[in-house]
Structure 1
């Protein structure tokens, strides 16, 4: 108590009685200005911060002398962080600290840690900055040259607050810093210098065919082990929690793939290059990544960089080897459709899509079987024999021809032109690409074998949700609906499952693949009793309904990962027919092999045939409505594994964890992008200093 009175007496001698002062309590930590009496109350209630021993915010200088109070100086010191710099200088007298917060920010800009704020048109037409690559110079314009909208929220005469701000974190300085330190410079060459390839195994992207093919096509690039291969990742997230469901911002993350496996998944090596403001950019995403495209073009030509290992400068080059995203974001980043009849990015010609009652299904996987396979002659699948060839994929020339049709599509909200009337007898060609994105400006982009990864994480979750929904008859997730039974009637198959007349309505006969109430209770009881090691998976008992017969709520992706590969197989044993259990168990084995630590090349090649047979088995069990595009995409995962290597370099788990970290950076919900940008800059600075 005497200490509080001593402090307040000192404050009254330095500040006017009616002034507001910084509150040094443990709750405010000198971050809030309050009247004298409130400060007195706070210190009594919360106590004073134990670290605040030199009262620099209340008139005492770092050397212990009392200085005369000047109100304007006191506020300036708070705004530029002068008090904190004084504290650091006093704690570490042997170090040289910047004199002000502005000077500290200046040092960070010189190191390439700061970010650039780029104003964006209200309608996403242009970026207000200068670009020689895209031949535009809009940095000094006050109105958009396309839609004539003002650059500022209040118009040209109001307060100059931009409608949108794109935060650009320059990539080139960050890659240069990797070679400024000996340890990270050596790690950047690990893929060629220290990696020990094992026959028939893939444990690094350098073991994949996509990496090897790129090296064969660009031998001058591959000759220098210091040249970087990059992965580009993006996804949207809502920084406001439940306050807004429409708002989402999109960070663009870049990760070097040259590093050892344990460093590739290290969050410190996942650089944020762009922070795209909300609401979702949608089809205008290509406008926002132009600053990154400029840097990637410069990196392809070469950037002078100091190498700490050799002690000499060299021309650093870098290339994007593939992109990581979920399936909807694939359309956002690539411009290719992921909906409708051409939703599969691997089936460009004659896809498996087929119109059903109320949805589009992807059935007919026996088209991939040999011509003489007995299942091609069977009528049990869809009521007809299958003689068609497997779907085809566009060649590089055909892709370029398709992109020529949309090369003039520009970003922004513009009135759509009147559609041209189709002549009688004229067939309209499907629109597979909506625009030609800026990534095609990269000279090597057309030669990449795997420009966009299928996300194993979300494919696995969708399949797990679909299986649980139909087995447990979960409302909203069950695909065995009346329309699904009518599809069977339309195809003339499985007559025992057709709708039956029951008075004035119809009833659905019970199907063999559905669990009855007793078996549903046994299965849910099993899930509730499963115990995991701490941190391995969530408590599945939290998702069991009150009556113990179904799952409720949204299962996390990792819960589905564990369920499909391990838990579901044990829980369904003895509860479903043998053919149903075997198909689900074999599907879980496929995903377990794909997610193994070291991929065996011969095993992955065998998975290509196994997954095809499993999908055909499932087609004979479940109704056609079960097979949406996410179930179909599972058959292309082994092919991508051979191109990419280990699944950790292409799925969304490390990206989602990074997005969770960025979401935790939000301290001001009125300005979420600014909060994330400043906090990320501080985190990047600490990472750089710690190395």
Structure 2
């Protein structure tokens, strides 16, 4: 069959499969969970059911038993028999991933014109997983097969980016957030987002055709390896490549629900964690050492704030230079490695890139821990991560439309830094309407000294008192 005809047939089959999936979803939307039900369609019930499973990490077996109980209690309800059937329905709402075979030596990808090759073009490594043929006098390597097909030695999982970005603009719940970087104003002149930094401004000035279109997306890329099997003595690692849309506002940008998993790279084997670690008893540090460490800690505390005043960056630079000079008089020369010297350039990084927390790896490390939780089948860790991510991705999208249920979108965050629109009053400068109260309410009487300190604080920080002070 000619190559063009094979391509046309393949495209036609994909279109037919897509149409069949859409018709199935439409039927699920229209059909009721049971005769006379007006609250839940079959699809809405399955979405909420599977959402609870993914959010709280309930096992497939437990959810299947719950389905059995519901079918037994409500005989007329149209419920699937297993979680596998639920997953097949839910996955039709999402965007699939693509598997691409790779060379075991990381030389090439078997795609495009090289899709049908069986050996690496550079070093001749076999594309397939090999095993030694038993009973042969000569050492023969034969491909490992499953269902009559050879198994690839290494497989890259790619999650298409463009349809995921398109979905951000198509969804009414996220379409306004994606335009925040252009439409929102920085009224206080603080560095709260990468768009307030010099690198973003220089990029917009250099590429005006790109920056003038509000719909263009700026992405940050992060990657790190982790042991997906949960056993540090096992020599295996996976390297996910994660994209972060910087168009989103600060209170959404660095949450894991906004991350886009781009690729899952099967990394090299890692050395086992076989080094014994001995903890020695600590002694109290001398006052001279503890003071300079406290000064350095205060520098990092100011540098890593959620919002930074650009006018204070020069003072921060002088702060860290003087601190390092004090450390040179205390610690030996061997202490001053390149990492210690690197602290002198952190202020410049903030000037160029904006607040630190948009580029550090803490949320990525937490996200890697979340990806590790997806591994249920240790024989196929990459497949488990891909399946878990695709399920959670579509359920995160669907949960934006769920009401009266706890979801990852509406649950309160650990830190509430989203600004609240309030009527302007004279006390806003002292008590800004950002954050949330923690703990129980308690009442106590102020001492005379505490009342004097509170009075002084009002005189110094309240704008309404300034005219009287002057």
TM-score under structure 2 normalisation?
0.63
Equivalent in 562, 565, 576 of residue 286 of structure 2: 576
Matched, 1:29 2:46: no
Report the RMSD for the aligned CA atoms in angstroms: 3.3
Partner of 1:550: 282
What is residue 352 of structure 1 aligned with on the other side? none
What is the deviation of 1:156?
Answer: 6.3
Matched, 1:636 2:368: no
Q: Secondary structure at the match of 2:166?
A: helix
CA offsets 1:233-289 (integer angstroms, 9 cap, x no match): 1111111222535321110000111111001012111000001113259xxxxxxxx
Question: Counterpart of 2:382?
Answer: 673
Distance 1:64 1:215 in 2: 56
1:170 and 2:152 matched: no
> Separation in 2 of the partners of 1:587 and 1:116?
47
Residues 249, 87 of structure 1: CA spacing in aligned structure 2 closer, same or farther, 3 A cutoff?
closer
Q: Residue 599 in 1 paired to residue 308 in 2? A: yes
In 1, the alpha carbon distance for the partners of 2:397 and 2:253 equals 17
User: Secondary structure of 2:155's match?
Assistant: strand
Check the 8 A contact 1:250/1:280 in 2, yes or no.
no
| Structure 2 match to 1:138 | 114
Q: Output aligned runs, 1:425-464, within 5 Å.
A: none
State the 1:83 CA deviation.
2.4
Would you say 1:210 and 2:199 are equivalent positions?
yes
Rounded to whole Å, the distance in 2 between the matches of 1:279 and 1:221 is: 38
Which whole-Å deviations, capped at 9, do the CAs of 1:285-316 have from their partners, x for residues lacking one?
xxxxxxxxxxxxxxxxxxxxxxxxxxxxxxxx
- For residues 609 and 156 of structure 1, the distance between their equivalents in structure 2, rounded to whole angstroms, comes to 66
Residue of structure 1 equivalent to 2:188: 198
Mark the structure with the bigger radius of gyration: 1
Q: Distance in 2 between matches of 1:87 and 1:143?
A: 38
CA distance in 1 between counterparts of 2:277 and 2:333 reads 17
Identify unmatched segments of 5+ residues in structure 2: 1-57, 131-140, 271-275, 401-470
- 5 Å-filtered alignment, 1:556-567, equals none
1:609 paired with 2:318, answer: yes
Provide the secondary structure at the position in 1 that maps to 2:257: helix
Match of 1:250 in 2: 239
The runs of 4+ residues in structure 1 deviating greater than 6 Å are 85-88
In structure 2, distance between residues paired with 1:646 and 1:27: 39
Look up the match of 1:263: 252
* Distance change in 2, residues 1:197/1:142 (3 Å): same
CA distance in 1, matches of 2:67, 2:162: 42
Tell me the residue number matched to 1:663: 372
Work out which of the residue numbers 194, 199, 209 in structure 2 matches 1:220. Answer: 209
Counterpart of 2:320 in 1: which secondary structure? Answer: helix
Name the structure 2 match of 1:44: none
Q: How does 1:12-51 map to 2 (within 5 A)?
A: 29=61, 49=66
Quick one: structure 1 residues 224 and 147, their matched pair in 2 at CA, closer, same or farther if it must change by over 3 Å? same
Q: Rate the CA distance shift 1:680–1:630 in 2: closer, same or farther, 3 A.
A: same
Contact 1:121 1:163 in 2 (8 A): yes
Residue 173 of structure 1: SS of its match in structure 2?
Answer: helix
CA distance in 2, matches of 1:644, 1:599: 12
The correspondence of residues 223-238 of structure 1 with structure 2, limited to 5 A, is 223-238=212-227
Match for residue 186 of structure 1? 176
When residues 654 and 87 of structure 1 are mapped into structure 2, their CA distance, relative to the original with a 3 A threshold, is: closer
Equivalent position of 2:71 in the other structure: 54
Q: Shift of the alpha carbon at 1:153?
A: 0.9
- Describe the shift of the 1:625–1:104 C-alpha distance in structure 2 as closer, same or farther (beyond 3 A): same
Contact 2:67 2:82 in 1 (8 A): no
CA distance in 1, matches of 2:227, 2:77: 47
2:109 counterpart residue number = 127
Structure 1 residues 602 and 243, CA, compared in 2 at 3 Å: closer, same or farther? Answer: closer
1:203–1:31 CA distance, 2 compared to 1 (3 A): closer
* 1:147 and 2:123 aligned: yes
CA contact (8 A) 2:129 2:143 kept: no
Cα distance in 2 for partners of 1:263, 1:626 equals 39
Q: For residues 613 and 654 of structure 1, do their structure 2 counterparts lie closer, same or farther at Cα, with a shift above 3 Å needed?
A: same
Alpha-carbon distance change, 683 to 690 in structure 1, aligned in 2, over 3 angstroms = same
Secondary structure (helix, strand or coil) at the match of 1:656 reads helix
Q: For residue 232 of structure 1, report the CA deviation from its aligned partner.
A: 0.5
Take 2:388 and 2:68, find their aligned partners in 1: how far apart are those partners? Answer: 23
CA distance in 1, matches of 2:84, 2:221: 41
- State TM-score, norm by structure 1: 0.43
By how many angstroms is 1:52 displaced?
A: 2.2
Question: In 2 relative to 1, CA 209–27 (structure 1 residues): closer, same or farther, beyond 3 Å?
Answer: closer
Contact 1:116 1:167 in 2 (8 A): yes
1:62, 1:87 within 8 Å by CA — same for their partners in 2?
A: no
Task: Give the total of aligned pairs.
Answer: 325
Q: Is the 8 A contact 1:197 1:207 kept in 2?
A: no
C-alpha distance in 2, partners of 1:87/1:239?
27
What does residue 100 of structure 2 align with? Answer: 118
